[in-house]
Amino acid sequence: MLNLSILELSMIGFLAQIIDGTLGMGYGVTSSTLLISFGIPPAIASASVHTSEVFTTFVSGISHFKFGNIRKDLLWPLTSFGIIGGILGVCGLVKILSKPIKLVVGSILLSMGGLIFYRFMFRRKKVNTTEIRKYPVNRLRALGFFAAFIDAMGGGGWGPICIPSLIVTGTEPNKAVGSVNLAEFFITVAIASTFLILIGFGKFRWDVIFALMVGGITAAPIAAFSCKKLPKRLLGIFVGIIVVILSIRMILKR
């Protein structure tokens, strides 16, 4: 079922973390797309990615909190309904038959790749403003629910959906990234726990989880440095194109 070594799996985690640490999004959608493309079932791929993310999202969220990049009015509505959406997304992914879900997940990842491509290809110039825009709580709850549901079903999508949605509608970029990243820790814990309950401890691919975690931890300091040096727009466009290509490959091979 899986012809990848621990080293190759670690490289997937490394690559995904480089992308995520540089762009602020992309770990889940990149690693899930690659894992599924190499033969891991969608549910196991998503479970592995989210379990490996528990540690990285915790560190990321705490760092953003310490640097003051959190808005509580965004954090709690996104988190509360995001947890519900994530749990329901896991239930849908685990209970649906393998072949139909590959088409669904492939379509989700294709849309995520397109979103990432659009976000960086046609992004608008940042507007400097001191105004703090308040959002309707119900709109934030709906955004959190939808983004977490897609994230659980597709193995990624929380960041690519939430961050552009907040920034486009006026949120300061650092506050959007920080609040979404801290909320992601709680969402990831809920998703990983639900996978553990439904799939069972023994069916988890702990070798995949361990390899992704090692690769991600190794890449973290490099990604932080790359964040300042690499052209984010070009890297974002490249990531979007790669995810789209791999998603189309997954759909055609179903």
Return the H-helix or E-strand segment holding 213: helix 206-229
Q: What is the DSSP letter of 204?
A: S
pLDDT tens-digit map of 171-181 = 777 788 888 88
Instruction: Please write the tens of the pLDDT for every residue from 104-113.
Output: 767 877 887 7
Model pTM score: 0.76
How far is the C-alpha of 247 from the C-alpha of 113, rounded, in Å? 8
DSSP element (H, E) containing 167: helix 158-168
Listed by start position, the domains of the chain span 6-252
Alpha-carbon span 186 to 194, nearest angstrom: 12
To which residue do tokens 């590959």 refer?
A: 102
pLDDT in tens, 160-218: 788 878 876 777 777 888 888 889 899 999 999 999 998 888 777 888 899 998 888 88
DSSP 96: S
Per-run averaged pLDDT (10 residues), the chain, 254 residues: 77 85 76 83 85 82 81 93 94 72 74 80 56 78 93 81 77 81 92 90 84 84 68 73 78 70
